[in-house]
Amino acid sequence: MMHLIKYEWKKTLFLKLFLLAVVLIGEAIFLFCAFTRDFDSLAMNVSILILSLGLMLSPIISILQNLSLLHRELNCKEAYMLYLTPHNSFTILGAKWILSLVETVIWTALAVAFATIDTLLLIHVTVGFTPDVMSRVNELVQVALTPKTLQIVLQLCFLFFAGLLQFESIAVIAIVLQATFLHWKRGSGFVILVLYLLLMYLSTTILMHLPLSSYMLFPFAGSYLSMRALGQVLVSLLLSAAYFVISSLLLEKKRNI
């Protein structure tokens, strides 16, 4: 598994490095404007735009690249090489799935790190860490660590990661269905889109009609999660796992033909 993950990482490394370079350029411009106190310049606004869009879109672009690569591997003339590997379909798709999850975690960690560093830098450059400022920062930290705030943050994080996994799982099963039953057929790309939209609609309908109350709370990590949010995360993960298993079985069946 680790060998496949490293192989998938290397195949998509160029785009990741390019995205990281764009983010670092934006950060460099931001630091330059901050240290020169050029807060109202066009360069400062552009750097904030680059950082915001870059860190927000990078995990989505990485996942889309992985999906595009899978579609190309299953539909190119050399697709038979994929079926001659000693690894089963669960391992092949699992490596792609795990890589996307790891990339999402890395980009999220980078976004948190850059946001924290830049915020502290702006405070230091504009007003300095005086006792009054430190008192206000401490008040903000206390507010951020309240159970209600932690509840909201935890729910958003879990829903975000579960949503990304489901997005990728639905896209993967649509691609595998197309490659299995409509290989080299005209209009197969449109079929992928229709399958994706149908499965996404089905999943969303299931999640929105869960018979759980948002007022029921479940203790978690020193805070609370609403039973509805927790149920949506768990059901989303179960649906993603189901789509993954079905995709792997279909791909394995095609390998054995």
pLDDT per residue as tens digits for the range 51-72: 888 888 888 888 888 888 888 8
C-alpha span between 209 and 207 (Å, rounded): 6
pLDDT, tens only, 155-179: 777 778 788 888 888 888 888 888 7
Query: Residue 226 forms beta bridges with which residues?
Result: 217
C-alpha span between 124 and 137 (Å, rounded): 12
CA 40 to centroid of chain Cα atoms: 32
Residue type, 227: M
pLDDT, tens only, 225-240: 677 777 888 888 888 8
| Beta strands in the chain, from DSSP E residues, in sequence order | 217-220, 223-226
pLDDT, tens only, 102-149: 888 888 889 888 888 888 887 777 766 667 766 776 766 666 666 667
Altogether, the residues listed in the chain come to a count of: 257
All structural domains of the chain with their residue ranges: 1-128, 145-257
The predicted pLDDT at position 77 comes to 61
CA 127 to centroid of chain Cα atoms: 36
Map tokens 């702006």 to a residue: 122
